[in-house]
């Protein structure tokens, strides 16, 4: 197992190196940040000075090598706009995005798993059919439209929840968190629910499909023939066999919640990484864009590695050697 873990780590390293090339070249061939950053009335001498200041006069291969050199020291360069380290800017926004993603994932699990289990165990009931119909809405409705409707209903019409922002925060472990204050939780509810809607439908349908696949299996029939209680059959034999696909989805979807929360953060003016990356793309702030994308690559690599480890804990038949 140790050999397989080392092999996985080496594979992950190759993936990260390959992504540095793709991300760096992809970002640097699009647009010219100098056209946005300097005054249009600047003369050629001033323009050349700015280009040299940001190192954009160097050939691309040399810029990439300098980028790699900085990366080894955890330095993604300074933001063109803010004049501060790009990694620092992203880490400042990370707690807000993490808080939103974890809350959204919690909501998705809280509703998706039990509803999917119920719909799988009792597929012919009207309530199950209604649940499955509702899940189609969760897939179909655009996130931005749902967000706007949530604001319209719960903020504008009813006045129950705030429309945007993060609200008051409190420090914990060196970071600011809004879930530690009552008003912060009120600010968190709408964006978290909006972000969780699609994931809830996904987990619900996956759980239902898994239940219907597991129930006809011989070991479930044998457990019933032995006279085991239905609750024990579901908790020990059904749920346990559901966990591998569910864990896979949870791991990957948690990464996507962090990486693709851009729309929700923009609608609710949530000060997280998503809003930062949108602003950076508009201004062609290359260091921030590259740092954000590389952090997402690292996040997905780590999540996939953790998922592989979880496989062996959930099902001893699954060996890392077999998947290498």
The residues spanned by each domain of the chain are 23-72, 89-312
DSSP states along 237-274: IIHHHHHHHHHHHHHHHHHHHHHT-HHHHHHTT--SHH
Most confidently modeled of 30-44, 173-187, 189-203, 249-263? 189-203
pLDDT at res. 1: 65
In this prediction, what percent of the chain has a pLDDT beyond 70?
94
Asked if residue 94 lies in contact with residue 273, where contact means CB atoms within 8 angstroms, the answer is yes
Is pTM beyond 0.85? Reply is: no
SS3 state at 179: coil
Considering the chain, what is the average pLDDT of its residues? 82
- Which position has the higher pLDDT, 251 or 82? 82
Which pLDDT tens digit goes with each residue over 39-95? Answer: 777 777 777 887 777 777 788 888 888 888 888 888 888 888 888 888 888 888 888
Is 1.10.3720.10 the CATH number for 89-312?
yes
Averaged pLDDT for residues 229-248: 78
pLDDT at res. 111: 92
Which pLDDT tens digit goes with each residue over 122-168? Answer: 888 899 889 888 888 887 888 888 889 999 999 888 888 888 888 88
pLDDT at res. 115: 92
Q: How far apart are CA 34 and CA 283, in angstroms?
A: 10
Burial 26-63 (b: 16+ CB within 10 A, else e): ebbeeeebbeebeeeeeeeeeeeebbeebebeeeeeeb
């Amino acid at each position: 197992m140790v050999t397989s873990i080392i092999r996985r780590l080496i594979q992950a390293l190759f993936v990260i190196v390959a992504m540095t090339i793709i991300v760096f070249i992809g970002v640097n061939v699009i647009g010219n940040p100098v056209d946005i950053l300097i005054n249009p009335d600047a003369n050629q001498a001033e323009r050349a000075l700015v280009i040299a200041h940001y190192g954009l006069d160097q050939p691309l291969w040399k810029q990439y090598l300098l980028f790699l050199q900085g990366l080894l020291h955890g330095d993604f360069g300074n933001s063109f706009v803010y004049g501060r380290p790009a990694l620092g800017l992203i880490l400042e926004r990370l707690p807000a995005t993490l808080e939103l993603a974890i809350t959204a994932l919690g909501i998705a699990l809280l509703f998706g798993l039990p509803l999917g289990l119920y719909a799988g165990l009792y597929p012919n009931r009207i309530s199950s059919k209604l649940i499955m119909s509702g899940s189609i809405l969760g897939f179909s409705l655009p996130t931005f439209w749902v967000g706007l409707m949530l604001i319209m209903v719960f903020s504008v019409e009813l006045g129950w929840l705030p429309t945007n922002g993060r609200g008051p925060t409190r420090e914990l472990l060196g970071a600011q968190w809004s879930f530690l204050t009552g008003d912060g939780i009120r600010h968190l509810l709408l964006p978290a629910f909006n972000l969780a809607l699609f994931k809830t439908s996904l987990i619900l349908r996956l759980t239902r499909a898994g239940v219907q696949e597991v129930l006809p299996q011989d070991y479930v029939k044998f457990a019933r023939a032995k006279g085991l209680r239905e609750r024990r059959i579901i908790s020990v034999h059904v749920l346990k066999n559901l966990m591998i696909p569910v864990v896979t989805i949870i791991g990957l979807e948690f990464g996507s919640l962090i990486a693709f929360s851009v729309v929700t953060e923009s609608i609710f003016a949530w000060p997280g990484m998503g809003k930062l990356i949108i602003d950076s793309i508009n201004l062609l702030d290359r260091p921030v864009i590259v740092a954000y994308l590389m952090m997402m690559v690292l996040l997905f690599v780590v999540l996939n590695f953790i998922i592989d480890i979880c496989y062996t804990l959930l099902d001893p038949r699954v060996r890392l050697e077999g998947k290498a």
